[in-house]
Structure 1
Amino acid sequence: MDLALLRTFVTVHRAGSFTRAAALLGLSQPAVTSQIRTLERQLGRPLFLRQARGVTPTTIGDELAHKAAPHLDALMEIAEAGLDEDSSVRTLHLAGPPEFTAERALPALTALSGQEGRSHALRVSFGNAEEVLEGLSAGHHDLAITTVRPRGPLLTATPLCDEEHVLVAGEPWAARLAPGRPRRRASLPLENLPVVEVHESLPFVSRYWAAVFDGRPVASGAVIVPDLRAVLSCVVSGAGLAVLPRYLCAAALERGDIVTLLDPAVPPLRTYFLAVRTGTLAMPHIARAHEWLLRTAAGWA
C-alpha cells in the first residue's frame, strides 16, 4: 500500500474535509480526492461518507486511521529528526491558551531541557480550546493544553491540573463593594460597576457567578481585552473588578496590588487537560514532555 495515499487518508480523517486536508498537504483538492478514491479502490471499501460540509469516516475508515496514524506519525518523527541516531535535537510542537502556557507550561518545559543537559527545540502556538484541538488532530501540534476534554478515539487527554478562580479588585473598589471582606458568600451589587474581562460575554465572571451565586451577572464589560495578563494589569490600575486564575494573580495579591472580594467555601475551579494524538506517546520526546508536565503540575498551587 502506498504510504503517500495513507498519509493523505490520515490527514483527511483528522481534518474532516478534503479542502482542509489539501491545504495541510499542499495539494489541490482534486488531487486529494483522487488519492482517496485510489485507496478506496485498492481496499474495495468506502472510507468516507461525503456530506454537505466535509466528510465523515466509515467504520472501515475509522479502523484504518486508528491502525495507521501512530505508525505514520512515528515515520514523520524519524524524517524530522534525521537518520543520525546521535542527533540530540527533537522539535516539540506545543499549543495552548496563551496565559497558562506562558506562565506554567513553558517554564516547566525549559527547565526539563536544562535538567537533561541537551537541546530540545520547542515551537509554541497559542489559541482557544477549539483551535488547539483542531491543530492537534490535523498533526500541527504534538501536545495541546486545553480546558475542553476532547471526544473520540483519535485524541487522548489526561487531566493536568485544576485552576482556582478568584474575584478580585483594587483596594478602592474593594472598600466600596465589600467592606469587611473577604466574605464567604455575598450578593455584590454589580449593576453599575466596571468589569474587566476577556470577552463581551464575560466568560470568567459568568462562570464565577453561576458557581457561587447560582445566577448570572447583570454587569457589562468596562474593559474587554483578550489576555488575562492584560486583565490583571487593568485591575491593578483601578479599572474595575475581574475574575482571575489564582496562579496568575497570586503575586499581585501578596503585594497588596489587588484584594480578594469573596472567599467562598467551595471556590470555582476549571480543569486543564493535556492532549495528544492517540499513539504518539510512543515517541520519546513527546512522552518525556508529557510525563514532565504531569509531574510538575502536581506541585502547582
Structure 2
Amino acid sequence: MVSSESNGPVDLGLLRAFLAVHRTGSFTAAAGALGLSQPTVTGQIRALEQRLGRKLFERLPRGAAPTAAASELAMQVAAPLDELAAVTERELGALSEPVQLAGPAELLCARVLPALAPLVSDGLRLRVTTGLADELLDGLRAAAYDLVVSSIRPRGRSVTAIPLVDEEFLLVASPDRARGIDTADPAGLAGVPLLTYAEDLPIVRRYWRHVFGRRLTTQAAVVVPDLRGLLAATAAGAGITVLPRYLCAAELASGALVPLLEPEDPPINTLYLAERAGAPERPTVTSIRERLLADARTW
C-alpha cells in the first residue's frame, strides 16, 4: 500500500477515489462510477493530497487534469487495486445468492449456458429452470426467477423485456428421407411421417400457414416435447419436422439434415430476455444480461 512519510499507510478508499478520477478525468464521473456523491469524492482527493503532500489534479472548468505526481501514483496503484477489485468481486460472487434463470430447454442448453460459462468460472452461481414461456413468466412475476428467456413477448407493466435473438425455422429431413419428396406441392408432404413438439402441432402449424398459406390437417406420427429429441429422430430418418436453425446448424453443416425448402421469407420468432420491473439491480444479473445480449448477436 502507498504510504506517506509522516502519516503511514494511505486508506484504500482514498486510492480508489483517486484512480477513478484519474481514469475518468472528472470528479463527477468518478463519483457516479463509485456510487458516491461528488463532494465526497472531492473531499477524498483533498484528503489524499494532504496525506501525500502533493497536488494530484488541476481543477478545470470541465473535469480535472492529472499532475505529474498523479500520473506517477497511478502507475504504482492501478494494477494492485484492479487485482484486489477482481478478487473481491469473485469472492462476493461466490457468496452471493444464485441467479435464478429460466427459459426453453433447447436454447438454454445450446446457446445460453455455453455463453455464461466464463461468468461461472469467475464465481457466478446459477440455478436453471426449463419450461414453457407462460409458466415461466408467471414465475418471474412471482419473483421465483431473476431472468427468463421467453419465446413470447410479456404483457403488462410488471415485466420488462428486451429482444434477444430472432430464431429462424426450417423444414428439415434426413438426406435419405428427403429423396423423392415433392416440396413444390405441400400435398406431397402428406404421406411423410410428421414429427412435432406437441399434439396441436404449434411450430409446424405456423410454418405451414406462413410458407404454404394453408392450414395443416396432418396428425403427428411422433410427439416429443423437446426439440432436441425431434432433431435426433429426424436425423435418424423417422420423418420431417420444423426446427430453429440455431439448433440444427451442426447437422445442416455435416449433411445429417437437409432443408426441404429455402423460402425467401422464412418464419421467425423473436426471443426476449425478461425481468421483473423495478427489481433491485444485482451485479450478477447485470453481468448475465450484458453477456447474453452481446453473445446473441452471433446466434
Query: Does TM, scored on the shorter chain, surpass 0.5?
Result: yes
Contact 1:149 1:157 survives alignment (8 Å): yes
Contact 1:280 1:286 survives alignment (8 Å): no
How many residues are treated as equivalent by the alignment? 209
Q: How far did 1:271 drift?
A: 0.6
Q: How far did 1:111 drift?
A: 2.6
Paired residue type of 1:87: L
2:239 equivalent to 1:234 = no
CA 1:192–1:121 in 2, change beyond 3 Å: closer, same or farther?
same
Q: How far did 1:292 drift?
A: 1.1
Q: How large is the RMSD of aligned CA atoms in angstroms?
A: 1.8
Q: How far did 1:284 drift?
A: 1.4
Who is 1:19 aligned against?
none
Q: How far did 1:287 drift?
A: 1.2
Contact 1:190 1:219 survives alignment (8 Å): no
Q: How far did 1:172 drift?
A: 2.2
Contact 2:90 2:123 survives alignment (8 Å): no
Post-superposition CA distance 1:39-58 (Å, at most 9, x none)? xxxxxxxxxxxxxxxxxxxx
Who is 1:88 aligned against?
93
TM-score, reference length from structure 1: 0.66
Who is 2:243 aligned against?
244
Who is 2:215 aligned against?
216
* Structure-to-structure mapping, 1:96-111, within 5 angstroms: 96-111=103-118
Contact 2:165 2:296 survives alignment (8 Å): yes
Structure having the higher Rg: 2
CA 1:279–1:188 in 2, change beyond 3 Å: closer, same or farther?
same
Who is 1:132 aligned against?
136
Who is 1:38 aligned against?
none
Does 279-288 or 235-244 show the bigger shift?
A: 279-288
Contact 1:158 1:273 survives alignment (8 Å): yes
Q: How far did 1:86 drift?
A: 5.5
Post-superposition CA distance 1:22-77 (Å, at most 9, x none)? xxxxxxxxxxxxxxxxxxxxxxxxxxxxxxxxxxxxxxxxxxxxxxxxxxxxxxxx
Structure 1 unaligned residues grouped into runs of 5+: 1-83
1 CA distance for matches of 2:282 and 2:138? 21
Contact 1:154 1:277 survives alignment (8 Å): yes
Paired residue type of 1:112: L
Who is 2:62 aligned against?
none
Paired residue type of 1:293: L
Structure 2 unaligned residues grouped into runs of 5+: 1-88
TM-score, reference length from structure 2: 0.67
Does 190-199 or 129-138 show the bigger shift?
A: 190-199
Who is 1:120 aligned against?
124
Contact 2:93 2:125 survives alignment (8 Å): no
Post-superposition CA distance 1:63-109 (Å, at most 9, x none)? xxxxxxxxxxxxxxxxxxxxx99523231100001101111111111
The SS at the match of 1:189 is helix
Contact 2:91 2:123 survives alignment (8 Å): no
* Structure-to-structure mapping, 1:193-212, within 5 angstroms: 193-212=192-211
Who is 1:159 aligned against?
163
2:150 to 136, 146, 150: 146
Aligned sequence identity (%): 43
Q: How far did 1:188 drift?
A: 4.6
Who is 1:175 aligned against?
179
1 CA distance for matches of 2:115 and 2:280? 18
